[in-house]
Amino acid sequence: MAVRNYTELIAWQKAVDLVEAVYSLSSRFPREEVFGLTFQIRKAAVSVPSNIAEGQGRWNTGEFVQFLGIAHGSLREVETQTILAVRLKFVAQSDSDSVFQLTAEVGRLIQGLKKSLVLLFTAHCPLPTAHCSLLTAHFFSTRLIDLMTTVVSGTSPKTT
């Protein structure tokens, strides 16, 4: 059954659970951190399901994969900021366990979704097999659009 809405994605559902866990954890941070680590960790957490939703709402697989990459990066921010909160003794390690369990689970779900999208892309690639293989090998690269331009037009990708 095809997903019709991002809310049907288990990765998005678990990411929303992560947001709730992060808000609960960060509510215990010191008051003076409201514009510091509290703001940062909440913003990163909210970014995870938001980017999954935005990617699913895009018109093509490449953009969806790109937004999943952004969501995965935000997930790593949440992990880092949780580690910092523990090291700064804002919360106990045991209090952060649920956040770490959810970041691990959401990370696995995002990776699985990305792999599924790559397989879908490969199966429906309109280019010759050799070009599709090249695109698939570089599918997770931020230079996907440049690479596609290179393959289709024969021009060199721009360098940054």
Residue ranges per structural domain of the chain: 6-117, 125-160
pTM of the full structure: 0.78
Q: If we measure between CA atoms, which residue out of 154, 122, 153 comes closest to residue 139?
A: 122
Topology classification of domain 6-117:
de novo design (two linked rop proteins) (1.20.1440)
Instruction: Summarize pLDDT for 140-152 with one digit per residue, the tens.
Output: 444 444 444 445 4
Instruction: Summarize pLDDT for 86-121 with one digit per residue, the tens.
Output: 999 999 999 999 999 999 999 999 999 998 888 776
Instruction: Please determine, for residue 158, whether its predicted confidence score (pLDDT) is greater than 80.
Output: no
Kind plus residue range of the DSSP H or E element containing 102 = helix 93-123
